[in-house]
Chain A
Amino acid sequence: MMEYLQILGNEVYKILFLLVPILVSVAMIVWLDRRVWGLVQKRKGPNVVGPFGLLQTLADALKYIFKEIIIPASANKVVFILAPIVTMTLALVAWAVIPMSEELVLSDINVGVLYLFAVSSLGVYGIIMGGWASNSKYPFLGAIRSAAQMVSYEVSIGIIIINVLLCVGSLNLKDIVLAQQELWYVIPLFPMFVIFFISALAETNRPPFDLPEAEAELVAGYQTEYSGMMYAMFWLGEYANILLMCAMGSILFLGGWLPIIDIYPINIIPAPVWMILKILFLFFLFALIKAIVPRYRYDQLMRLGWKIFLPFSLVYLVLTASFLFYFDKLPKGNF
């Protein structure tokens, strides 16, 4: 019995060691997002609380905690409260398989990519549940939009992942990174990287695809009826999801924790730093796009997903497979 408790304690310690940095970095990333947004628009952005305004998110979180949580009278209470919890949990659970370096990973499972894909496809439930349980028109419309949007962009993300997997020959995230030692996949699969990036924007409901919460049409979409800490949980979950998508992009295409070139002064920088730098780079692009691109119309969004990205990534999949087959570069695997 003691043995089990010890193992359990050890695991809990490891999980906390992963979760606390993620929550802190989510807070920092919100600040970075607003800061970049401000700089693009020639404003200063949040710069009052703490040095450079770094503690702004903390102040916001504190405000949210002390606000009253209002549950609408006609809402389905259980589902209403469950929705932000589901969003937040799913956003954090996915981080279990993200490798920060060759050793630094909580659980190194064989089907890491599938796990990531599964968890990110479950993310839609938090939104649907929140929208439906609010029992109000704007949240419901937002939820329906968001569900359709996320389901359709998952399809092209899935095919892009298959593209990468064809080159690697393994579903393990560590193997995927190690297979990029010679060449990052962003170079041979550059079109796929672009499509992955745009689909990630749509998958996380970021501008220009933030139709579920388009304030001009739907007030705040599925979050309209939420207040206080419950709203903050949706918000944290959303940003944790965005970070997750950035991590996924850097693992699949930018070589994860690998340095840019493996020569002396560059490769002494520790692996997690490289990983964090790549995640930050992708997030910087996310923030820039939020500031510079106007919102899509809903039919344009659907057309982009189904009529352009899906056929294009399918054709590219066939091209990749034929290239690998013709030049006999298909991964033989270690079985």
Chain B
Amino acid sequence: MLAHSVFFYFFSIIAIFSSLMVITSRSTINSVFFLILDFISVGCLFIMVGAEFLGMIILIVYVGAVAVLFLFVVMMLNVAEQKQSWFIGKKSTHIPIGLIVSVLILLELLVVVGGWKYKNDLMSSSTLNLSDISNTHQLGLVMYTDYILYFQLAGVILLLSMIGAILLTFRQRKGVKKQSYLNQISRNPSSSIELKDVESYKGVKIDD
């Protein structure tokens, strides 16, 4: 039990410290690295409470894919300059909206935590026996039976947002040369090489 609590405090201190560093560090790239550290330590906390499936999924989805895209965006765009200009420059349109969103999130969190506090029998209402089967099996048993509608709905929402993102960035450019793989593969010597007898002092035209 001692080792368990030592590791719990170790991971939670890292998680809290790195989440603070995400919002306070000057360089945006360091923010992203601290965000990754935060994800990893939260994943470790999940594994420690026995939710190994969730912990691994956090590692795969958030650290392995989402954070990579964050890094991409931060590296490719000049986020650092923009950030500087918000704080040093005159007006920022982002801070008021950001404040509203964060206050809303705080309120929502309070509602959720309060709900647990006052109706803690919700937690124990699960019909599954949590002790003797691994949590991957538990998730599988519930996700595709009781919660199939929500699961499908989440999938459809993701699909829609993907189509939306593609539509936003899709534009047809003119004058772009496209390669047809079929044509490239199906070329053979007889269709691409032509032998010609060249007369002296005359030469050949290429485009005949």
Determine if A284 is an interface residue (Cβ-Cβ < 8 Å): no
Determine if A91 is an interface residue (Cβ-Cβ < 8 Å): no
Q: Are A124 and B64 in contact (CB under 8 A)?
A: yes
- Chain A minimum-CB-distance residue to B67: A125
Whether A125 contacts B56 in the complex (CB less than 8 A), given A110-B136, A171-B136, comes out as no
- Chain B minimum-CB-distance residue to A333: B137
Contact of B57 among A109, A114, A125 (CB under 8 A): A114
Q: Are B52 and A147 in contact (CB under 8 A)?
A: no
Determine if B100 is an interface residue (Cβ-Cβ < 8 Å): no
**Which candidate, B9-17, B68-76, B163-171, B193-201, is the interface stretch facing chain A?**
B68-76
CB distance from B49 to the nearest CB of A (A): 14
Q: Are A128 and B71 in contact (CB under 8 A)?
A: yes
Determine if A4 is an interface residue (Cβ-Cβ < 8 Å): yes
A-B pairs under 8 A by CB, number: 67
Main secondary structure of the interface of B (DSSP, over half): helix
Chain B residues near A144 (CB-CB < 8 A)? 72, 75-76
Q: Are A110 and B134 in contact (CB under 8 A)?
A: yes
**Which candidate, A39-47, A52-60, A115-123, is the interface stretch facing chain B?**
A115-123
Chain A residues near B64 (CB-CB < 8 A)? 118, 121-122, 124, 151, 154
Determine if A326 is an interface residue (Cβ-Cβ < 8 Å): no
Determine if B36 is an interface residue (Cβ-Cβ < 8 Å): yes
Determine if B59 is an interface residue (Cβ-Cβ < 8 Å): yes
Distance between Cα atoms of A300 and B180 in the complex (Å)? 11
Whether A335 contacts B132 in the complex (CB less than 8 A), given A117-B60, A118-B56, A147-B72, comes out as yes
CB distance from B18 to the nearest CB of A (A): 15
From residue 8 to 60 of chain B, which have CB atoms closer than 8 A to chain A? 29, 33, 36, 52-53, 56-57, 59-60
Distance between Cα atoms of A303 and B137 in the complex (Å)? 35
Main secondary structure of the interface of A (DSSP, over half): helix
From residue 93 to 116 of chain A, which have CB atoms closer than 8 A to chain B? 109-111, 114-115
Contact of B56 among A79, A114, A151 (CB under 8 A): A114
* Total contacting residues, chain B, CB less than 8 A: 26
Distance between Cα atoms of A335 and B3 in the complex (Å)? 29
- Chain B minimum-CB-distance residue to A171: B136
Distance between Cα atoms of A147 and B65 in the complex (Å)? 10
Chain A residues near B59 (CB-CB < 8 A)? 118, 121-122
Chain B residues near A335 (CB-CB < 8 A)? 132-134, 137
Determine if A138 is an interface residue (Cβ-Cβ < 8 Å): no
Determine if A234 is an interface residue (Cβ-Cβ < 8 Å): no
Chain B residues near A132 (CB-CB < 8 A)? 29, 71, 75
Whether A4 contacts B3 in the complex (CB less than 8 A), given A110-B136, A125-B36, A335-B133, comes out as yes
**26 A-B pairs (CB sep. < 8 Å):** A76-B29, A110-B52, A110-B136, A111-B56, A114-B57, A115-B56, A117-B60, A118-B56, A118-B59, A118-B60, A118-B63, A121-B60, A121-B64, A125-B68, A132-B71, A132-B75, A140-B75, A144-B72, A144-B75, A151-B65, A154-B64, A154-B65, A158-B60, A171-B136, A335-B132, A335-B134
The 7 lowest CB-CB distance pairs between A and B, nearest first, are A121-B64, A335-B133, A114-B56, A118-B59, A118-B60, A111-B52, A335-B137
